[in-house]
A and B are shown apart, each in its own frame.
Chain A
Amino acid sequence: MPVDPLGGLNDVLRGVEKLGRDLIGQPRIRLAVTGLTRAGKTVFITSLVANLLAAGRGRRTLPLFEAAAGGRLRSVRLVPSASEALPRFDVEAHLAALAADPPAWPGRTDDLSTLELTLELDRPGAFGGMLGSLIGSRTVTLELLDYPGEWLLDLPMLDQDYAAWSAETLRRLRRGERAASVRDFLAWVEALPAGATADESLARRGHALYRDALRECRDGLGFRFLQPGRVLNPGPRGETPLLWFFPLPYPSGGGLASLMAQRHAAYVAAQRAEFFEPFFRRFDRQAVLVDVLGALHAGQAAFEDTAEALAAIAAALRYGGGWWDWLVGAGVARVAFAATKADHVPGRQRDALAALLGTLVAAPQGRAAEAGVATSVHALASLRCTEDAVATLDGRPVAAVRGTLLATGQSAKVYPGEIPLRPPEPGFWEHGFFEMPEFQPPKLDAAGGSGVPHLGLDALLAALIGDLL
């Protein structure tokens, strides 16, 4: 549905441009990489760019992808910067840090950054090469965006008013009552009188308590469905008064409640204008990255929270399928779901990991399929850090992985536990919580000329953009 006339006009213009580009064989594809915090978006984009560039140099880093291209991939280039107002995604710096000694993973992403990549291909057919030199070869431009995962959870807020948001948020927060700071905030907010006045010090106090609760939920409990995203990751401008709101049990009165409602509305408007409209209103392909193992190890509450967050994000995105989308040619053509860090489990458990992801994302997948989008589910390691090994536990051999620990530099075998094919029974979580150690990246060529070792990136790319080549 066209929400506002300006956005509608934009849709029409982009639809015309898209049609023209498709006709001359130079499509431009916006690839939305969505994933919650620490799902592995930044590493994924780094690996994607490095491996595509290497494939453009003839390296066989992405065999399945090249097969999908029918051997017609001629070169891959980074599009040089023009006059973008956004920072450029710094692949070289990320690769250099990963290859350095000691290696470092990319730091927390705290701002948007973009990068464009052009794949040049021979035109298909017996005389494709000839035709190519006459009218130009086929080029596919990929637009990539990296952003803080926390902000993604603001998308479900766009269609909610303050009262509805308050009720929902308090309900979810109660599941984290294990955490002391969550208990503190809940106790404080429930003790507030219904007619509390719009006192600034009261608002600041509530905000500080709420922020601490959110932080502990994210870092201690592994929760992801935490709103508003900018409280956890304010971005380069730091905190602004816009952020100083929190859910109230009596959200519809005057005084403090109306101040909170005002700030909530302003925040939603700002996120819509700065984040959602420019980047997520319209995209062509989507990779949904999920740290399935991390969620599984963080316990039942975190696992369910992750599923709920993914469903809420999918519900807020526009997959097309409506008459307006059909008319202006908007909508997503393909969505690939990937369980990242698949190198944390031994080879024969990776299928189970993908199967578990399939049940975890059943709701988003259903929503995409409803709009006629082709979907696929993968197990993916953007940067493979382990090799398969056998460990002996309680006198029995079990399949494990071996890697070098980032923290100590020691070699260790990790047994990730049995990966269930379905969301497990409550009994499964009895063994308590576990956090996968960070591994050191393997030996890398600092210049990155040969790409980086990965698992399944080529299959994912073939499924996601293979039809465009």
Chain B
Amino acid sequence: MSDAPKGPRIIVEDAAVAPRLDFQWEQAVVPVAAPKVPSRWSGLGRAAAGAAVLGLGLAALDATNFVIDQFGRGPVQGWATAGVVVAGFGLLASGAWREVRGLFSIRAVERARAAFAREDLPAARAEALRWAGGVAEAASLQPALRQAGSTGELRALLEGGPLLVLDAQAVALGRAAAVQSFAVTAVSPSPGLDALVFTWRGVRLVRQVAALHGLRPGLLGTMALLRRTLLDAATVAATDVAVDAAARALLSNKLLEQFAGEAAAGAVAARRMLRLSKVAAEACRIVPPTP
């Protein structure tokens, strides 16, 4: 230690100009399949699950006991009660199943977008193929998707074909909703009613647009989609120009022009509907918006 050379030193190795160091960084950091992290139930999750198990389980036990009691009274009463119980629980289960499926389909969109953002070709291709399988407008694209060599190519295929068609259809849906809400707000007596109609029509529009993209959102799924749509709406002010043009074209209709003077509120509602269709379509796309 003490006999180590004192003081720092620079030793030039070679008079010639050397190439830059290369750590092969790009290759060293290429993505690998992320290790699955075991996820644990949170305290709140456990409590909720416990409550659900207790509620449903006890109800089921109760119902079973009741059915057995009824059989004691006679076969007719027994079978009738069993039928009622099975139908009731069956409807509950199918409803829950649809909700979960709806939420899963929204999650699939997010997965696909993340894969595109990561430029993770295998995952993006798998998601695109799965999506194309469920959307009529994209079914014919599957062979080309299978051949795509980069996420950019996948994106070009999707954006140039089916997504263009779907966007046009979403605009058409939006226009229909806009005309309807314009008409309703023009004749409705109270602003409260306007708001109600607008909300109901808006939610329906979002679900219609989602269906175009092969999503079947249940109640929870619709909520998730609405949240995303409203979040996106804040960021797509730029599309307002297009929306304004469409609204103007719509309102220059001879019949509607009669109203437009006194029904400025209706014009606003119509414009909002058009915009909503646009943003909803944006939120349902399986490719992320281009930055």
Contact = CB atoms under 8 A, between A and B. Distances in A.
Interface of A: 54, 56-61, 70-72, 74-75, 103, 124-130, 133-136, 297, 384-387, 391, 393-394, 396, 398, 400, 402-405, 408-418, 430-432, 434, 436-437, 440-445, 450-453
A103 B19 CA distance: 12
Contacts of A404: 18-21
Given A404-B19, A410-B16, 9 more contacts: A54-B29, A57-B31, A124-B39, A126-B42, A133-B106, A385-B21, A408-B12, A414-B9, A417-B9
Greatest chain A CB density within 10 A among B21, B23, B26 is at B21
Interface string B40-73: 1110010000000000000000000000000000
A171 to B, nearest CB: 30
Interface stretch (B127-135, B170-178, B219-227, B273-281): B219-227
29 contacts: A54-B29, A58-B34, A58-B119, A60-B30, A70-B37, A71-B35, A75-B117, A125-B41, A126-B45, A128-B39, A134-B224, A386-B21, A398-B5, A405-B12, A410-B17, A411-B14, A411-B18, A412-B12, A412-B13, A414-B8, A418-B6, A434-B8, A437-B10, A440-B20, A440-B21, A441-B20, A450-B26, A451-B25, A453-B25
Given A125-B41, A445-B26, A410 B32 contact: no
B29 A61 contact: yes
Contact of B8 (A60, A103, A416): A416
A124 to B, nearest CB: 7
A434 B10 CA distance: 10
Contacts of B19: 404
Nearest to A437: B10
Nearest to A345: B8
A180 B185 CA distance: 84
Size category, B interface: 35 or more
Interface string B99-113: 000010011001000
B270 to A, nearest CB: 29
Given A134-B227, A409-B18, A414-B11, A442 B31 contact: no
A133 B5 contact: no
B11 A412 contact: yes
B21 A127 contact: no
A445 B37 CA distance: 31
B7 A431 contact: yes
Contacts of A135: 227
A417 B42 contact: no
Nearest to A409: B17
Contacts of A412: 10-13
Nearest to A442: B21
B137 interface: no
Contacts of B22: 442-443
B118 interface: yes
Contacts of B11: 391, 393, 400, 412-415
Given A134-B220, A135-B227, A403-B21, A74 B8 contact: no
B91 interface: no
B290 to A, nearest CB: 13
B117 to A, nearest CB: 5
B7 A432 contact: yes
Nearest to A384: B23
A443 B45 contact: no
A418 to B, nearest CB: 5
Contacts of A409: 17-18
Nearest to B107: A133
Contacts, number: 157
B255 interface: no
Nearest to A75: B117
Contacts of B26: 445, 450
A417 B15 contact: no
Contacts of A385: 21
Contacts of B5: 393-394, 396, 398, 415
B110 A133 contact: yes
B8 A443 contact: no
B264 interface: no
Closest 9 CB pairs of A and B: A431-B7, A411-B18, A58-B31, A58-B118, A417-B8, A409-B17, A442-B21, A125-B42, A393-B5
Given A409-B18, A417-B7, A125 B40 contact: yes
B114 interface: yes
B103 A134 contact: yes
A442 B20 contact: yes
Nearest to B32: A60
A126 B228 CA distance: 22
A239 B18 CA distance: 43
A453 B7 contact: no
Interface string B201-228: 0000000000000000000100110011
Nearest to B42: A125
Contacts of A58: 31, 34, 118-120
A125 B41 CA distance: 5
Contacts of A442: 20-23, 25
A130 B220 CA distance: 10
Interface in B183-241: 220, 223-224, 227-228, 231
A129 B108 CA distance: 11
Contacts of A398: 4-5
Contacts of A391: 9, 11
A56 B120 CA distance: 12
Contact of A414 (B10, B16, B35, B41): B10
Contacts of B35: 71
B188 to A, nearest CB: 32
A363 B220 CA distance: 54
B6 A417 contact: yes
A90 to B, nearest CB: 17
Nearest to A392: B11
B74 to A, nearest CB: 45
A226 to B, nearest CB: 25
A422 B32 CA distance: 42
A135 B220 CA distance: 10
A297 B21 CA distance: 25
Nearest to B34: A71
Contact of A57 (B6, B20, B32, B119): B119
A411 B1 CA distance: 28
Given A133-B110, A412-B10, A434-B7, A125 B37 contact: no
Contact of B23 (A60, A129, A453): A453
